[in-house]
Structure 1
Amino acid sequence: MIKLQALRQHLLNAVPDLKRGPEKLLTFVQDGGIAFARGQHLSHEYRVDAQIIVTDYRCSLDTLMIPLLQWLSRYQPDLDPDEAVRLEAEILSNNAWDLALTVRLTERVIALVDCDAGTISAEHRMPAYPIEACPALSWSLNVKGPGDADYQPASQWESPNDG
């Protein structure tokens, strides 16, 4: 799944805790299926529940969630906002936890059949949808917790790109 690989790379680039320890990020396809039409037409769509596991996470949840939501807004904008991301957590200590995020991803594959040549050409599609009319390419996340006087810098990353 090209989308899951792209999402994984975006999180590794955007989340400071994962930049320092990429081995903390595990990705799986938990459940899925393939939608297709019968016949000679071989185009199809992968539909999977991608599970993103982050172990021993020691940062604000926002430093993970905001880059994730930004990526989803660009590459999977058709998700139901109320059901887009499911979250589970195990508290390891006062400053560390294991997180499990589940996200539904779809990936379209166009398969063109040429019967005369005996070839099938498959192309994975990952269209990027504009998030909004915002020209920024680099982002800084500042977080203010309860009781904090000011925002504190938490993360920096580049906008998700086309793959």
Structure 2
Amino acid sequence: MLKVDILREHLNKAIPWVRSNPDNLETRVRKGNVVSSGRPGASFEYRYHVDVLAMDFPDDIEMLTLVILTWARDHQPDLIFNPDKRAREVSFDADILDNGNVDVLFSFPVSEAVTVTRDSDGRITFTPQDEPDYRKMYGISEGVWDLEFDGTMTDDGL
């Protein structure tokens, strides 16, 4: 699934601990549904929940939160821009461990359209679709804020 793969890449690039401890970060897909409109064509949409579990995470969870929200701005923007969803859809649970580390689980809904096409030889191709560029949709200039994947923030344009 395209969006889960991209999320994992973002976490890996942005947080050195994830790169050093890949077995301590799990990304899971659960509660999935397949939605088809019944209209002509075979394209469909996946709707599912993503769980991101960081086990024995030694740092503040703010960095995990920031990377997930930055990912959502580009790949699931309704979690940021829809007032109802941003207020209730990104949830987390944390277990504070005796050694000062934390097990933290983030959970949020994701949708992913899949375009189905058939070429002239009859071969079927499945193409996962990412979200449209929210910056263009909402008239936001480039560089308002972005996460550099060395773990630092830039504030270009502020």
TM bucket (normalised to shorter chain) is: 0.7 to 0.9
1:139 aligns to 2:143 (yes or no): no
Q: What residue number does 2:3 align with?
A: 3
- Identity value in percent: 25
Give the TM-score of the pair, scaled to structure 2: 0.78
Q: What residue number does 1:87 align with?
A: 92
Report the AA paired with residue 156 of structure 1.
Answer: T
Runs of 5+ unmatched residues, structure 2: 80-84
2:92 and 2:114 map into 1 onto residues whose CA distance is 29
Of the candidates 124, 131, 134, which is equivalent to residue 128 of structure 2?
124
* Superposed counterparts of 1:4-153, under 5 Å: 4-38=4-38, 41-79=41-79, 80-93=85-98, 95-113=100-118, 117-127=121-131, 129-131=133-135, 132-135=140-143, 139=148
* 1:121-151, Cα deviation, whole Å (9 max, x unpaired): 321111352454243776389xxxxxxxxxx
Structure number having the greater strand percentage: 1
What RMSD, in angstroms, separates the aligned Cα atoms of the two structures? 2.6
* Number of aligned residues: 144
Deviation at 1:65, TM superposition (A): 0.6
Deviation at 1:113, TM superposition (A): 4.3
Preserved contact between residue 44 and residue 114 of structure 2 (Cα < 8 Å): yes
Q: What residue number does 1:148 align with?
A: none
If you compute each CA radius of gyration, which structure gives the higher value, 1 or 2? 1
Give the TM-score of the pair, scaled to structure 1: 0.76
Runs of 5+ unmatched residues, structure 1: 142-154, 159-163
Q: Kindly tell me: are residues 117 and 94 of structure 1, through their superposed partners in 2, closer, same or farther at Cα, counting changes over 3 Å? A: closer
Q: Kindly tell me: are residues 157 and 46 of structure 1, through their superposed partners in 2, closer, same or farther at Cα, counting changes over 3 Å? A: farther
1:31 and 1:62 map into 2 onto residues whose CA distance is 26
